């Protein structure tokens, strides 16, 4: 499991929709677990392989799923790629949630 503790000293809060994109009356989503599709950083080789992501004590953790296909792959390499992608982009789970920092910013806005 790979872990990213913070970005520029700001810890991670939750997966959700940034306030600037919410409409009045929208349900506020505050998830601490989500997934990222391996296609985004592993192309067709990891298409459909969902990497679990969770936020624990302000740190983002990404883990490669353990199954008959992924056990043949370089776990350390792909977990690192998944974590780097997760920090720089916001496409989590089926609802395409954003990684929100404790200060309310979208993570990808802070690293670009």
The per-residue pLDDT for range 37-46, each reduced to its tens digit, is: 999 999 999 9
In the chain, where are the structural domains located? 2-111
Q: How far is CA 85 from CA 13, 21, 24, in A?
A: 18, 22, 31
Whole-number pLDDT of residue 49: 94
Whole-number pLDDT of residue 48: 92
Tell me the CA end-to-end span of the chain in Å, nearest whole number.
Answer: 24
Q: Are the CB atoms for 82 and 4 separated by under 8 Å? A: no
Whole-number pLDDT of residue 72: 94
Binned at pLDDT 50, 70 and 90, residue 91 comes out as: low
**Better pLDDT: 110 or 3:** 3
Q: Which two tokens stand for residue 91?
A: 């496409």
**pTM recorded for the entire structure:** 0.83
Whole-number pLDDT of residue 112: 62
CA 45/CA 29 separation, integer angstroms: 31
Reported as a single tens digit per residue, the pLDDT across 47-84 is 999 999 999 999 999 999 999 999 999 999 999 999 99
């Amino acid at each position: 499991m790979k872990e990213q503790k913070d970005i520029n000293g700001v810890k991670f809060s939750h997966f959700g929709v940034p306030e600037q994109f919410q409409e009045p009356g929208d349900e506020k989503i505050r998830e601490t677990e989500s997934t990222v599709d391996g296609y985004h950083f592993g192309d067709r080789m990891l298409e459909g392989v969902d990497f679990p992501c969770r936020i624990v004590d302000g740190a983002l953790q990404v883990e490669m799923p353990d199954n008959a296909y992924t056990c043949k792959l370089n776990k350390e390499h792909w977990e690192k790629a998944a974590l780097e992608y997760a920090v720089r982009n916001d496409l989590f789970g089926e609802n395409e949630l954003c990684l929100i920092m404790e200060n309310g910013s979208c993570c990808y806005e802070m690293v670009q």
